[in-house]
Amino acid sequence: MSQPAVRTATRDELETMLGWARTEGWNPGLDDADLFYAADPGGFHVATLGEVVVGMMSLVRYGNGCGFLGLYIVHPEFRGRGYGRALWDFVLAAHSLHSIGLDGVVAQQANYAASGFAFSHRNLRFAVSDLKFEAEPEDDEPVSGEILDALKLSFPAPRNGFNKLWWAHPRHVRAVKRRDGRIAGLGVARRCTVGWKIGPLIAHDELSADHVFRRLAAAAQGQQVVLDVPEPNAAAIRLAERYGMKVVFETARMVRGTFPPHDLAPLYGVTTLELG
């Protein structure tokens, strides 16, 4: 059995990766390719047999030697032949990172554990359709030091460049809640293959989280709304259940190496399971 060649993916191949993710039911955002690629153009990889792409995987690098692994897919026609493991081994060996995180689907969590990834917590995907909120004017605040400081709570590794792009994308919807002039909560919603995803959703108290959620969910205009919630945040689960959201999917946040500590109390919604 021939082994696949592994190389860095092109921007067009990242579009293909996200197409495969749609087929798997992961429901990526319609504008994710531009934002993901800008985060780390060298962080996306394909395994090929000749001219045929058989597998894909991302390992996006952030500051302080941290990375996040995602979009690990072998095409159904080529599964069970060891191509995924060859891709996995090559990518992990090619990047000298002292810590790597991932959000692993249930079927793969034992394999990730065998590769040295330790369980941190579950992320629960909640979804609901037909929410009825009156649309309000978007909080079109530009990127600022205050906004970036708040967005740092979404992920433990430094990634100001990605956060700037995510916040400022012209087709993303933004909401900010202030109290006494300071940011008490903020979030972003983006259009996806099906409906809208809210993420990140960050707040310092439950009422602020509720306010931001309603502002962002209003953008969906009755379409499906998705929120990926860190299970340890009980207030975030209460928020989702308050609006009739149901768990439709789960992953395990797993870490290999010395990933920075992360306070999940302000994190009501994960930015994206693919990049953390």
**pLDDT tens digits along 142-165:** 899 999 999 999 999 999 999 999
| Cis status, amide bond into 266, omega within 30 of 0 | no
SS3 161: helix
Please say if the pLDDT value at position 176 is more than 80. yes
Q: What does the pLDDT read at residue 138?
A: 65
Structural domain including 92 reads: 5-120
From 85, 87, 36, 84, select the one nearest 62 (Cα to Cα): 36
Q: Is the pTM value of this prediction over 0.85?
A: yes
Q: What does the pLDDT read at residue 174?
A: 96
Do 74 and 158 lie in one domain? The reply is no
Q: Is residue 263 part of a domain?
A: no
Do 25 and 78 lie in one domain? The reply is yes
Do 148 and 235 lie in one domain? The reply is yes
Do 167 and 72 lie in one domain? The reply is no
Q: Is residue 276 part of a domain?
A: no
Amino acid identity of residue 164, one-letter, is K
Q: What does the pLDDT read at residue 139?
A: 66
Which of 72, 96, 120 is at the close of a domain? 120
SS3 77: helix
Q: What does the pLDDT read at residue 45?
A: 97
Domain count, the chain: 2
Q: Is residue 264 part of a domain?
A: no
CB burial class (10 A; 0-12, 13-18, 19+) of residue 143?
Answer: middle
Q: What does the pLDDT read at residue 116?
A: 95
Do 68 and 149 lie in one domain? The reply is no
Do 17 and 106 lie in one domain? The reply is yes
Q: Is residue 174 part of a domain?
A: yes
**Token representation of residue 169:** 């994308």
From 271, 228, 241, 242, select the one nearest 125 (Cα to Cα): 228
Please say if the pLDDT value at position 273 is more than 80. yes
Q: Is residue 274 part of a domain?
A: no
Taking the C-alpha atoms of residue 96 and residue 4, their distance in angstroms, rounded to an integer, is 22
Do 56 and 104 lie in one domain? The reply is yes
Do 234 and 218 lie in one domain? The reply is yes
Mean pLDDT confidence for 238-252: 97
SS3 271: coil
Instruction: Find where tokens 């010395």 sit.
Output: 258
Tens-place pLDDT, residues 184-232: 999 999 999 999 999 999 999 999 999 999 999 999 999 999 999 999 9
Containing 110, the helix (H) or strand (E) segment is helix 109-114
CATH number of the domain that 108 lies in? Answer: 3.40.630.30
| Contact (Cβ atoms closer than 8 angstroms) between residue 44 and residue 13 | yes
Q: Pairing state of beta strands 66-74 and 99-105?
A: parallel
Q: What does the pLDDT read at residue 181?
A: 92
Taking the C-alpha atoms of residue 271 and residue 60, their distance in angstroms, rounded to an integer, is 14
Which of 120, 152, 185 is at the close of a domain? 120
Q: Is residue 271 part of a domain?
A: no
Do 112 and 167 lie in one domain? The reply is no
* Confidence band, pLDDT 50/70/90 cuts, at residue 99: very high
Contacts of 89-95 with C-beta under 8 Å, sequence gap 24+, read 90/6, 90/45, 90/47, 91/6, 91/45, 91/57, 91/59, 92/59, 95/59, 95/61, 95/67
Do 114 and 138 lie in one domain? The reply is no
Which of 120, 146, 167 is at the close of a domain? 120
Q: Considering Cα of 112, then 114, then 120, then 122, what sign does the dihedral take?
A: positive
DSSP state of 162: H
Q: Is residue 267 part of a domain?
A: no
Looking at the DSSP bridge assignments, the partners of residue 58 are: 44, 70
Please say if the pLDDT value at position 1 is more than 70. no
Do 21 and 103 lie in one domain? The reply is yes
Q: Is residue 262 part of a domain?
A: no
How many percent of the chain have pLDDT more than 70? 98
Please state the length of the chain. Answer: 276
DSSP state of 38: H
